[in-house]
Structure 1
Amino acid sequence: MTSEWIVVSGARENNLKGVTLRIPVGRLTVVTGVSGSGKSSLVFGTLAVESQRQLNEVFPWFIRNRLPSYERPKFEFIENLSPAIIVDQKPVGGGARSTVGTMTEVHPVLRVLFSRYGEPSAGFSNLYSFNDPQGMCPDCEGLGRTLRLDLGRLLDEDRSLNEGAVRHPAFAVGTNYWKRYAEISRYEPGEPLDGPAGPLVFDPDKPLRTYSAAERELLLYGRGFKTRRPHSPGSVAVNDYEGIVDRFTRRFLKPGLESLNDREREQAERVVSEQSCERCGGARLSERALASRIGPWNIADLCRMEVRELIRVLEDLADTGAAGEAALSAALASLRRIESVGLGYLTLERPTKTLSGGEGQRLKTVRHLGSSLTGMTYVFDEPSVGLHARDVDRLNGLLCALRDQGNTVLIVEHDRDVIAVADHVIDMGPGSGAHGGDVVFAGTVAELAAGETATGRCYRRPPGVKPEAECRTGRGTLTVRDATLHNLKGVTVDIPAGVLTAVTGVAGSGKSSLVCGALAAAYPEAIVLDQSAIGISPRSTPATYTRIWDLVRRAYARVHGVDAGLFSFNSAGACPGCQGRGVITMDMAFMDPVTAVCEVCEGRRFRAEALEHRIGGLNVADLLELTVDEALAALDGGPLGRGPLGADGTVRARLAPLGEVGLGYLTLGRPLSALSGGERQRVKLAHRLREQGSVYVFDEPTTGLHMADVDTLLGLLDRLVDAGNTVVVVEHDLDVVKRADWIVDIGPEAGAQGGEVVFTGTPARMVREGRSHTADYLRRSLPGSRPQDSPSAVR
């Protein structure tokens, strides 16, 4: 008889303290707890990794050698573990050629449809693919867009070559590329190289604006002759001439900007512009593929439609018998699943790299909705991220459907409405980091609500809206006029200055387009904290990311008269045994890898010579082992405060924001790769808080935060406003919306049906007068309205 429980005993991954617990099979379990309490270490670091590791063991050795290798997590035993399907928040990625259509496999079905029923037919289905050389547009090579050199940005017409007329570092005065224009004369084959050179092709002191049309054409696009120029003392270089535009295009644009290193890419982006391909109009396909139609539409027309519109079009085709029933039914089934999770506003042509984390996660989930597999374990990482409360309803229906198919659903989550649908709740804590790692509660939702854990208290006591009398009054306005970015429909809105404004609306309604796009462009001095990921290299730490470590290294070097590189575990100071990693991972060939603490440095990452030098009794390894709170205490009147590290207050000023965002428990040397998503989000927030500005723009700052941590964040936002700043947050979390001074609600729906301002005013006024999805769910979230009675409580 199959056990009714997954049993975990003695789990010790990361900060877990020998956790033992049971998870019901075939049920929906939510694992919650404050940020950094050990949720991900339990669910992903232990259960998911062990499931994948054991599943790999069933394959032959030669196949296992081609699969990802997983080290056995730290635990005593796990019983009744089933294969795990992980649906995480990692970006979908896929590059410029990956679209919603290719990811969901709807596009291949449409290609089959057109190959058989399109008139005139372009041939096999691959001839309708923009990823196939035979189907792609020859000009843009299937990308739909082309990069063109912007001569207005590249050239300073008032300057000469000697004055730096070409505004790109590769062509700067004195560089090799510069010499190929400023120092060249014509060379005829057979001409003796030791003879005198002819006149220069270009006068290097002549401003570009005074060039004749022929001279300008030669400089930019010339070719077909050889040149000679001084190479080194006593030698001459002979080269084929290539105009500036052709050289730049060949060197930087043809390989693709993504192939350049970060610095080269940034430099190139300053002088190029991206445009829709003139030949295919952005459709990515060849003329032959675009000429093929079913009814009035070619395949690109269908891919440009929003999913909800495309469903109606394909349904009409099915009714008329105009195409194959099998292909149409397959496409419609996938499209209806996409619409069922609230993504009906997407188009199949949309690149996957432009999707938010929440959109990507839901599209990953859609892939499994049509599966008839049962007995699986689905593992979700905060699936409510980026979702409006209305969309959380749909998400919960999806999660419950997976459970009802006979699967175990395991979710790491903070959202009240997701917790409300759980059959079983596991609460980790009681605190974060070293103060967490224990199971503080396991049971039903009702039992959680009656308990005294941080989650239980926050769950049963949702905050009320800020009274109108307490809302701050704006000091002027930040105005956005006639914004048309993406789906915005000529939006003009005034955002009050000197207050906390929440911009709300369903996912895809146009919030980020308004705030992070139009507002940020209108007020470039604004400090924008978006959803971009921070570096998660094992060599990156809170100390390096907040840029205090350079100051620390220089201080140790100055005091002891040595090179600063000695105090870096990424360079000269690295332990020779582990190269500064602190651990050694041993490749066991076909067996699972094994990671052990480095015996040379005992995990401290530095060579012995570096550890001999101290400031305030601490060497650099000791310093990295301090928590943020301990380091701040040592700087405030402690041994570090009296030394060079505390002299001008810079180190403390850069470190203090980590404490302000609730990360005082982190050690300075903890790898960012070991932090939870919520912790990494707050590390980035703390880093940007050091910047001085009067306008702060936050894009969903509550991502990854527990309800109790949201209170800490709100306290920080209030302090920013009280200090005279304007704070604008794009946010779905209703706890933040309730505490705002002003709300701008975008909608009414998503995609083409959004992009309008549907409400502006205080939270209290929205509760009284609002007629939008946000207003409806705001009213339902007020004290006295039980979460389990809301529409989210899908049973």
Structure 2
Amino acid sequence: MNDLLLRLRDKGNTVLVVEHKPEVVAIADHVVDLGPGAGTAGGTVCFEGTVAGLRASGTLTGRHLDDRAALKKTVREPTGALEIRGATTHNLRNVDVDIPLGVLTVVTGVAGSGKSSLVHGSIPAREGVVSVDQAPIRGSAAQQPGDVHRSAGAHPQGVRQGQRREAGAVQRELRGRRPSCNGAGVVYTDLAMMAGVATTCEECEGKRFDASVLEYHLGGRDISEVLAMPVTEAEEFFGGGEARTPAAHRILRNMADVGLGYLTLGQPLTTLSGGERQRLKLATHMAEKGGVYVLDEPTTGLHLADVEQLLGLLDRLVDAGKSVIVIEHHQAVMAHADWIIDLGPGAGHDGGRVVFEGTPADLVAARSTVTAEHLAEYVAREAHTSLQCASSHSSSTAKSASVRPYR
């Protein structure tokens, strides 16, 4: 892919790439880094210039550009195995493989090698298997990431004794939408051949609900104020005090764990990127009680700084007694795995076979597959970076010890 991008540029084209992967950033002639954070904490250009300048810039991207995950020194022992026998879905060639349970297993291989066919097409659908695939989340502008307003409506504050029956009507109304804007807070105007225009709803003034609904409060906030909260703030809000709602708090904690803490509860699903939608789907499924979690490329759309957070989340799932099976290309996830199943050796009719099973360390040592070669290079860069940092620190320490401060 990098070679293709460079060839396009060399033919006189201007190539603009939106990307997180450091391998792609490294070949750029010019880098524009946005931030400094996400959501309301972002939206500004933090840096523009060369890749070398980005590394020295001190921005979040610059600080994490050379991040590399190390191979695990010890791996978990499996508690059992999920047997797949004679798998022939799509290009699979009568595959027999045992997927270990109770550990973090990564299924990898080149694109088209048969990873999804093996995992989604061959793992038996049964109770306790939670599958998060790449199917998009369908949603309208009125649907939001955090539908915790239903929990809020269940405990309206300040309702007098004589208004108990009215409270039930409020709950029903909270579940509905403002008719004038269908609960979106904005009215969309179709301009035919031109781009549509969204304007703030004049009747609700963007608050989405009738004035009668906004009279009721939870923890001192009305429903429009709750929906305006980012996930991190809402997690604290529903975690204690008058607004304590364990079910809502649990879902919000999951959203924060997958790196969506900056989203507002009332943000329309249509404004989310593909990566954000996939992580929202993951957070939703984490609330389910399953013994086996199957994830399809959870690093999609993740910034370098968020990958470590995802690895911590996967570890917590396994440490809680779950079995986690991840289809993934990201080397950091491969390096962090307890067990790797590598498919290939190529794509399409050249793939469909298991070319390696074992620990990441054994894969790197064998260097017998395309994945092994690239993971070995990745690990070598991590070791080189660590050595440089240690050398720089040692040199700095020695220099400071030999130079007396001027008085």
TM-score tier by shorter-chain length is 0.7 to 0.9
Cα shift at 1:466: 1.6
Residue equivalent to 1:324: none
The question of 1:497 aligning with 2:101 is answered yes
- Counterparts in 2 of 1:591 and 1:758: CA distance versus 1, 3 Å: closer
> Contact 2:149/2:223 (CA < 8 Å) preserved in 1?
no
Contact 2:335 2:360 in 1 (8 A): yes
3-state DSSP class of the match of 2:325? strand
Aligned counterpart in structure 2 of residue 518 of structure 1, from 97, 122, 137:
122
Q: Give the letter for the 2:285 counterpart.
A: R
2:169 partner letter:
V
Aligned 8 A contact 1:464 1:783 in 2: no
Structure 2: distance between partners of 1:783 and 1:458? 17
Per the alignment, do residues 589 and 515 of structure 1 end up closer, same or farther by CA in structure 2, a change over 3 Å counting? Answer: closer
Match of 2:233 among 620, 624, 630: 630
| Over 3 Å off, 4+ runs | 548-559, 585-594, 783-787
Aligned match of 1:530: 133
1:424 aligns with 2:21: no
Report whether the alignment pairs 1:750 with 2:368.
no
Report the Cα offset of residue 652 of structure 1: 2.1
Mapping of residues 56-135 of structure 1, within 5 Å: none
Q: CA deviation at 1:588?
A: 5.5
CA deviations on 1:263-285 (whole Å, 9 max, x unpaired) are xxxxxxxxxxxxxxxxxxxxxxx
Structure 2 distance, partners of 1:591, 1:491, is 52
Which AA in structure 2 matches 1:765? Answer: D
Q: What are the within-5 Å matches in structure 2 for residues 441-590 of structure 1?
A: 441-467=47-73, 470-521=74-125, 523=126, 525-544=128-147, 548-556=148-156, 560-570=167-177, 574=178, 576=180, 578-587=181-190
Secondary structure, in 3 states, of the residue corresponding to 2:242? coil
| CA displacement at 1:776 relative to structure 2 | 0.6
Once the two structures are superposed, what CA deviation does each residue of 1:121-175 show, in whole Å capped at 9, x if it has no partner?
Answer: xxxxxxxxxxxxxxxxxxxxxxxxxxxxxxxxxxxxxxxxxxxxxxxxxxxxxxx
The 5 Å alignment of 1:230-379 reads none
Q: Which has the higher contact order (CA 8 A, sep 6+)?
A: 2
Counterpart for residue 355 of structure 1:
none
Q: Secondary structure at the match of 1:719?
A: helix
Identity over aligned pairs, percent: 49
Whole-Å Cα distance in 2 between the matches of residues 659 and 589 of structure 1?
39
Post-superposition shift, 1:446?
Answer: 2.1
Q: What is the CA–CA distance in structure 1 between the aligned matches of 2:166 and 2:71, rounded to whole Å?
A: 55
Decide whether the 8 Å contact of 2:152 with 2:218 is kept in 1: no
Counterpart check, 1:705 vs 2:302: yes
- What CA deviation, in whole Å up to 9, does each residue of 1:352-411 have, x standing for no partner? xxxxxxxxxxxxxxxxxxxxxxxxxxxxxxxxxxxxxxxxxxx12222222222221111
* Residue 597, structure 1, aligned to residue 200, structure 2: yes
Deviation at 1:553, TM superposition (A): 3.5
How far does residue 532 in structure 1 lie from its aligned partner after superposition? 0.5
Which structure has the bigger radius of gyration? Answer: 1
1:658-680: CA deviation from partner (whole Å, max 9, x where unpaired)? 12212222211111111222221
**Secondary structure of 1:781's match?**
helix
Q: Distance in 2 between matches of 1:559 and 1:628?
A: 30
The residue type paired with residue 749 of structure 1 is G
TM-score with structure 1 setting the length: 0.45
Distance in 1 (CA, whole Å) between partners of 2:31 and 2:284 is 34
Question: Normalised by the size of structure 2, how large is the TM-score?
Answer: 0.87
How many Å apart are 1:740 and its aligned residue? 0.5
Distance 1:650 1:595 in 2: 33
Q: CA contact under 8 A between 1:541 and 1:668: conserved in structure 2?
A: yes
| Aligned position for 1:741 | 338
Determine helix, strand or coil for the equivalent of 2:284. helix
The separation in 2 between residues aligned to 1:537 and 1:488, in whole angstroms, is 37
> Which letter does structure 1 place at the counterpart of 2:356?
F
1:624-655 deviations in Å (ceiling 9; x for gaps): 112222222222223312xxxx3xx2222233
Which residue, out of 615, 636, 640, partners 2:243? 640
Compared CA separation, residues 559 and 431, structure 1 to 2 (3 A): farther
The 5-angstrom pairing of residues 624-703 of structure 1 reads 624-641=227-244, 646=245, 649-703=246-300
Q: CA deviation at 1:550?
A: 3.6
1:543 offset after TM fit, Å? Answer: 2.0
Contact 1:696–1:728, Cα closer than 8 Å, also in 2:
yes
Go from structure 1 to structure 2 and tell me whether the alpha carbon gap of 1:504 and 1:586 turns closer, same or farther (over 3 Å shift): closer
CA distance in 1, matches of 2:381, 2:195: 53
The alpha-carbon distance between structure 1 residues 657 and 559, as it changes in their structure 2 partners (threshold 3 A), is farther
Q: Kindly report the root-mean-square deviation, in angstroms, between the aligned alpha carbons of the 2 structures.
A: 2.2
In 2, distance between residues paired with 1:591 and 1:655? 38
Q: Which amino acid aligns with 2:77?
A: T
User: Cα deviation per residue 1:50-94 (whole Å; 9 max; x = unaligned)?
Assistant: xxxxxxxxxxxxxxxxxxxxxxxxxxxxxxxxxxxxxxxxxxxxx
